[in-house]
């Protein structure tokens, strides 16, 4: 091997000596650049051809391997297996695991802006507290949704719509459910509060049957609060809970609906958790409704807004700032108080 290497090295040195002598001889004979190029052209082409052959010998196996990888599943599987074994073998010499788990091989130098902490259920951004510049609640009638959105919702202000026009007593509601949406009775509601049945025995059909049997009896007082959260239940509730005229069809359908009913019973303020754009419709009787500012706006910055919703009126607000509670201080001797609530995903 040493003899072969030394002979190859000697041949390279001899070739360099011959080329040097050749160029010296050409200078003495004062050949021009064009003449030198014409003389050396065969040699230049041979050098270039040798380079092309060299790169072909290097790239051809790689191309063949790539084509086999694409066309042969067996070859691809065996190549992956061999590659994994090789990576495991070199792991003691080079820890490549950070690059394997990294999302980006080259880290970016720019700083990443920290995201604000998520807002809790009863919290809001402190910047929203600047929107509480009113000590009352506005009223509107014959109003479009675009007006409600631009003048009230985008500013975080609740508004009572005096001509919502959705009036219905408990008798008509029961008849409408039986006629248009009997499948709703088999759904399982959420956030149920009622004195009609024990919670473990509660189901919609039994509860409504009991209400129907107690109609006209002045001795029985009851209340029912429930939320439709299952997709099928929400869909079924749309058949008997009408939408007000200012609820446009281009807005997303409500993802959750509430039914609040009280008969001849005083109810303390009860807070219910609602989210997004909230539409309250007073169908019969009345409820005392309170909107509470969320933390940190409740620290003497924003007032609690108290109002009475009468039959045919509606309340529209966003839960970005406000949480909701309802009650009944002076129940009617004969008429039930009935209201529906819609929760809508709302992005301005």
The residue ranges of every structural domain in the chain are 2-101, 126-344
pLDDT class for 348, splitting at 50, 70, 90?
A: low
- Quick check: 214 pLDDT over 60? yes
Q: Considering only 61-75, 164-178, 258-272, 293-307, which range has the smallest mean pLDDT? A: 61-75
pLDDT digits (tens, 9 = 90+) for 118-138: 777 888 988 888 887 666 789
Query: What is the average pLDDT across 227-234?
Result: 93
Residue 324, pLDDT score:
97
* Cβ burial 215-230 (10 Å sphere, 16+ → b, else e): eeeeebebbbbbbbbe
- Quick check: 110 pLDDT over 60? no
Average pLDDT over the chain, rounded to an integer: 86
Query: What is the average pLDDT across 313-336?
Result: 93
Q: Considering only 56-70, 94-108, 120-134, 181-195, which range has the smallest mean pLDDT? A: 94-108
| Highest-pLDDT range among 65-69, 218-222, 296-300, 307-311 | 307-311
For the record, the structure tokens of 33 come out as 């650049």
Q: Is the domain defined by 126-344 classed in CATH 2.60.120.650? A: yes
Query: What is the average pLDDT across 154-178?
Result: 93
**Do 257 and 340 meet the contact criterion of CB atoms below 8 Å apart?**
yes
pLDDT digits (tens, 9 = 90+) for 41-50: 777 777 778 7
Residue 106, pLDDT score:
64
- Cα separation of 127 and 132, whole Å? 10
Residue 7, pLDDT score:
64
Residue, of 115 and 86, whose pLDDT is higher = 86
């Amino acid at each position: 091997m040493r003899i072969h290497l030394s002979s190859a090295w000697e041949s390279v040195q001899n070739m360099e000596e011959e080329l040097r002598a050749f160029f010296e001889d050409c200078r003495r004979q004062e050949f021009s650049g064009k003449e030198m190029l014409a003389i050396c052209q065969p040699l230049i082409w041979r050098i270039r051809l040798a380079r092309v052959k060299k790169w072909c010998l290097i790239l051809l196996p790689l191309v063949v391997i790539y084509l086999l990888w694409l066309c042969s599943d067996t070859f691809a599987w065996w190549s992956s297996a061999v590659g994994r074994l090789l990576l495991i073998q070199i792991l003691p010499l080079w820890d490549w695991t950070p690059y394997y788990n990294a999302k980006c091989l080259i880290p970016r130098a720019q700083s990443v802006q920290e995201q604000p902490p998520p807002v809790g259920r009863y919290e809001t951004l402190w910047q929203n507290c600047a929107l509480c510049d009113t000590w009352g609640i506005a009223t509107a009638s014959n109003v479009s949704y675009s007006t409600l959105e631009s003048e009230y919702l985008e500013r975080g202000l609740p508004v009572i719509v005096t001509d919502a026009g959705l009036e219905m007593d408990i008798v008509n509601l029961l008849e409408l459910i039986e006629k248009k949406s009997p499948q709703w009775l088999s759904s399982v509601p959420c956030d149920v509060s009622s004195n009609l049945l024990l919670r473990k025995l509660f189901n919609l059909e039994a509860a409504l049957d009991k209400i129907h049997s107690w109609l006209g009896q002045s001795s029985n007082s009851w209340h029912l609060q429930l939320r439709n959260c299952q997709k099928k239940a929400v869909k079924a509730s749309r058949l008997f809970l009408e939408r007000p005229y200012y609820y446009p069809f281009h807005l997303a359908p409500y993802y959750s609906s509430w039914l609040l009913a009280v008969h001849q019973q005083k109810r303390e303020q009860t807070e219910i958790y609602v989210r997004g754009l909230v539409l309250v419709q007073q169908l019969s009787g009345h409820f005392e409704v309170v909107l509470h500012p969320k933390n940190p706006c409740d620290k003497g910055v924003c007032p609690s807004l108290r109002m009475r919703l009468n039959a045919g009126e509606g309340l529209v607000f966003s839960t970005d700032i406000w949480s909701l509670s309802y009650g009944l201080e002076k129940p009617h001797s004969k008429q039930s108080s009935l209201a529906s609530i819609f929760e809508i995903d709302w992005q301005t």
